[in-house]
């Protein structure tokens, strides 16, 4: 079966393109054209049967991903499925299964089977766990371990895969010569860098890129080119290692598109606010405007417990400047495996950042949503405000806890509500306090 990109280039409009066009309020021919040229990716593995496709990229609503998955400390899949349900309920567009606990295959298969939204994976995690169990060390991982894992995850229905193909020996050497505070913080990046340094060989994901393209073409898996050299603190942002990897990723985008394989590019983690716009424009320039998927960026390093906020600050500017897909950051970032409450907070916070950018990007429906909320506030229509709230349950809880049931204004202003006062004297006919 042809990929979405291959069909788009042949002039065919797929069912997935129709669904994306309807959701985005954009002509379906525009979707087809942008899928054909690679600026939109529709991450939809042919084996993910209950998926409602979504598009990522040019002119579309900024999408939000939630990370879930088991760990060696918490290997039970059931809580992760509950987190998946919560992420979907909160409006996430994708989840990534980052499982490293027991029975990784079963965890992934159950998540994909359960998920109506895009599912991403990181095959290197499973290949590493497999290598440790079978060979005793990460550095004993074989090329077959990696390729067989990618094939299995594609066969199971993963819609997109983070693959750290750009962590090359030259990128590592440039990073080493320049020096870094935190070296490599990407888990996948550290796995492959450790393997390369120990074996004194080039990255097998880079060396076997054509084999990977064969697999992804077969199942229509979107490659998400991982940022294994991303900065782990603001002091390391926009350095030689990061930019060397980005140049390589741009070349890998070209090779994927030549085969008709869809691709996204992943972006930096910790970036000072004044460097974010430049980072986004560099990616778009070097990677030919491929969809850009960013973690954060986190604009400061000093806020453990509040990193969902530091990421939202950076995420809004990133999306305004060109990023198309935000990976959520939860209050547990840098601290622990997130709880279901952390997942809720992370998704909602990232959605706020994404929507703030949508307003600036001119995404259809974004300004209308804000305008409807403003109109409801003007007449103190609390029911309508709750309907329009991005987190209705929290809004209702806050409203109900601190206001009398029949109160028109809120208890912040009480008898001195600005809305009531101006309506009384400026728009008498709209005032909810008039008989």
Write out pLDDT tens, residues 133-155: 999 999 999 999 999 999 999 99
Instruction: List pLDDT tens digits, range 333-382.
Output: 999 999 999 999 999 999 999 999 999 999 999 999 999 999 999 999 99
Place of tokens 């994708």: 94
Is residue 179 annotated as involved in ligand binding? no
How many whole angstroms separate alpha carbon 299 and alpha carbon 314?
Answer: 6
Please give the mean pLDDT across all residues of the chain: 94
Strand-pairing partners, residue 55, are 42
241: closest CA among 232, 229, 250? 229
Is residue 186 annotated as involved in ligand binding? yes
Does 434 score more than 90 pLDDT? no
Neighbours of 350 (CB within 10 A): 31
Strands 325-327 and 222-225: unpaired
Is residue 233 annotated as involved in ligand binding? no
Decide if 95 contacts 67 (C-beta within 8 A).
Answer: yes
Number of helices followed by number of strands (H, E) in the chain: 19, 10
Is residue 289 annotated as involved in ligand binding? no
How many whole angstroms separate alpha carbon 359 and alpha carbon 103?
Answer: 43
How many whole angstroms separate alpha carbon 379 and alpha carbon 424?
Answer: 11
Q: What residues does each domain of the chain span?
A: 41-361, 366-430
The residue ranking higher by pLDDT, 380 or 430, is 380
Neighbours of 164 (CB within 10 A): 26
Is residue 280 annotated as involved in ligand binding? no
Is residue 125 annotated as involved in ligand binding? yes
- Read off the pLDDT band of 435 (50, 70, 90): very low
Is residue 413 annotated as involved in ligand binding? yes
Token readout for 92 is 């996430």
Is residue 373 annotated as involved in ligand binding? no
Instruction: List pLDDT tens digits, range 11-34.
Output: 999 999 999 999 999 999 999 999
Tell me the CATH architecture of domain 41-361. Answer: Alpha-Beta Barrel (3.20)
């Amino acid at each position: 079966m042809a990929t979405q990109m291959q069909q788009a280039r042949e002039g065919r409009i797929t069912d997935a393109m129709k669904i994306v066009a309807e959701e985005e309020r954009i002509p379906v021919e525009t979707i087809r054209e942008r899928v054909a040229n690679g600026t939109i990716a529709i991450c939809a593995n042919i084996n993910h049967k209950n998926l409602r496709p979504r598009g990522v990229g040019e002119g579309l609503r900024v999408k939000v991903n939630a990370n879930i998955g088991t760990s060696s400390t918490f290997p039970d899949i059931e809580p992760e499925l509950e987190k998946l349900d919560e992420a979907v309920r909160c409006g996430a567009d994708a989840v990534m299964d980052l499982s490293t606990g027991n029975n990784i295959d079963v965890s992934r298969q159950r998540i994909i089977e359960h998920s109506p939204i895009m599912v991403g994976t990181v095959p290197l995690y499973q290949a590493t766990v497999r290598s440790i169990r079978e060979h005793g060390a990460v550095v004993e991982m074989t090329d077959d371990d990696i390729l067989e894992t990618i094939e299995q995850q594609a066969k199971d229905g993963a819609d997109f895969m983070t693959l750290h193909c750009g962590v090359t020996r030259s990128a590592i050497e440039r990073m080493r010569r320049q020096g870094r505070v935190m070296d490599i913080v990407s888990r996948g990046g550290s796995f492959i860098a450790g393997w390369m340094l120990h074996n004194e060989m080039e990255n097998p994901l880079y060396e076997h890129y054509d084999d990977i393209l064969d697999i992804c073409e077969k199942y229509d898996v979107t490659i998400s080119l991982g940022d294994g050299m991303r900065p782990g603190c603001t002091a390391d942002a926009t350095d030689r290692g990061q930019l060397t990897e980005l140049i390589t990723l741009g070349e890998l985008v070209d090779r994927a598109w030549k085969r008709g394989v869809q691709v996204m590019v992943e972006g930096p983690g910790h970036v000072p606010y004044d460097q974010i716009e430049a980072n986004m424009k560099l990616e778009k320039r070097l990677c030919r405007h491929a969809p850009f998927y960013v973690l954060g960026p986190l604009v400061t390093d000093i806020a453990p417990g509040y990193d969902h906020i530091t990421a939202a600050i950076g995420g809004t500017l990133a999306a305004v400047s060109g990023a198309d897909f935000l990976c959520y950051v939860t209050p547990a970032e840098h601290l622990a495996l997130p709880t279901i409450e952390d997942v809720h907070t992370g998704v909602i916070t990232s959605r706020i950042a994404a929507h703030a950018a949508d307003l600036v990007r001119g995404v259809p429906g974004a300004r209308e949503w804000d305008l409807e909320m403003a109109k409801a506030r003007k007449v103190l229509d609390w029911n309508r405000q709750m309907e329009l709230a991005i987190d209705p349950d929290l809004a209702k809880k806050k409203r109900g806890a601190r206001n009398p049931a029949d109160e028109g204004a809120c208890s912040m202003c009480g008898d001195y509500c600005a809305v009531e006062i101006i309506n009384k004297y400026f728009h008498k006919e709209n005032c909810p306090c008039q008989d």
